[in-house]
Amino acid sequence: MSPEAGGLLTLAELEEAAAGLRGVAVRTPLLESPALSDAAGVPVYLKLENQQPTGAFKLRGAWTALRRLPEEQRKRGVITYSSGNHGQALAFAAKRMGVRAVIVMPETAPAAKVEGVKRWDGEVVFAGTTSEDRYEKAMLLAREQGLAVIPPFDHRDIVAGQGTVGLEILDQLPEVTDIAAPVGGGGLAGGIAAALRARQPKVRLTAVEPEGAAALKAALAAGRPVRLERTFSVADGLLPLAVGAIPFLHLRDFAHSVTVSEAAIVEATRWLCYQQKLVVEPSGAVTTAALRSGAFRPSGPTVLVVSGGNVDPAAIAQLA
């Protein structure tokens, strides 16, 4: 079935996902940043998804997808391919539901993310260094062991779960005019786009990605998802070779795309740590990087989504 066959997510679907997350995911706070507000000339707030139980927004989508999976499939176990945060989220959700979870991760996965998966009894399998390596290994194991596949971003239930971030922002800051969100595969940005389309379409959504992994920029230019030959960035959670078809359905003709340099990402990660006292992984710092570098110029009350904080604080000092 093509992504278009399901159409755009409805407000009812997003609200059902939000109801299903009560008691599981945290309704994360908006932290006003005087320093960023002064720099931008408008009120700027940080949406702290690094405060989720698994350290990132991914819990929203993983829980929603697993909860909606038929019981017969859950009993056989689930598998995913992940650079880290989705794997941790699925392992957490599976443990809470008593389901076996196998997580295929890159050989280069940060130790903090591998340990995070194991903390929730996820079974870690390593496969290569690219998203395609992980995907192929996961598909093989799924066929061999009868496991249900829960993709990291290109799945309607995943996008619905991530879209609850957008609903919360609209509830917490009704006067918001601009939202900036990181984009890798597009699940988070696509979900927020779905929420804005359904409730407040005049809010401007800016999707931020590393210069070395600009899959959405390429997709918007082509009018469809396109596969990049390679991606690279210190923002290890934003490296898919292509944006997902379902997220792109929600982002096209709606989101604006900007890219940020490696230097800007590193600077923002360190700034958030030392000036805002927040532990944020580089992938979660790209929105701050976009604002501080001038790539993103909001017009009114603004929310920067801080997508995750699964990084060793000591590693932040070593970024260069």
d(CA 187, CA 159): 5
Sheet containing strand 302-306, edge to edge, reads 30-32, 44-48, 302-306, 178-182, 204-210, 256-260
**Which part of the chain is CATH 3.40.50.1100?**
3-53+155-318, 70-149
- CATH 3.40.640.10 applies to domain 3-53+155-318: no
Please give the DSSP secondary-structure letter assigned to residue 275: T
Written as six digits, the tokens of 120 are 């929730």
Looking up tokens 């931020």 gives: 208
Q: Which amino acid is at 110?
A: P
pLDDT (tens digit per residue) in 101-113: 999 999 988 888 8
The helix/strand/coil state of 201 is: coil
pLDDT (tens digit per residue) in 208-244: 999 999 999 999 999 999 999 999 999 999 999 999 9
d(CA 218, CA 261): 16
Mean local confidence (pLDDT), 195-207: 98
Looking up tokens 């989220």 gives: 89
**β-strand pairing of 78-81 with 148-149:** parallel
pLDDT (tens digit per residue) in 11-54: 999 999 999 999 999 999 999 999 999 999 999 999 999 999 99
Q: Return all residues near 230 (Cβ < 8 A) that are at least 6 apart.
A: 130, 241
pLDDT at 313: 82
Please give the DSSP secondary-structure letter assigned to residue 54: T
In contact, 70 and 49? CB cutoff 8 Å: no
Within 10 angstroms of residue 125's Cβ, the number of other Cβ atoms is 15
Among 302, 306, 29, 21, CA closest to 172? 29
Looking up tokens 């995911």 gives: 25
In contact, 285 and 229? CB cutoff 8 Å: no
Higher pLDDT, 113 or 183: 183
- CATH 3.40.50.1100 applies to domain 70-149: yes
pLDDT (tens digit per residue) in 80-96: 998 889 999 999 999 99
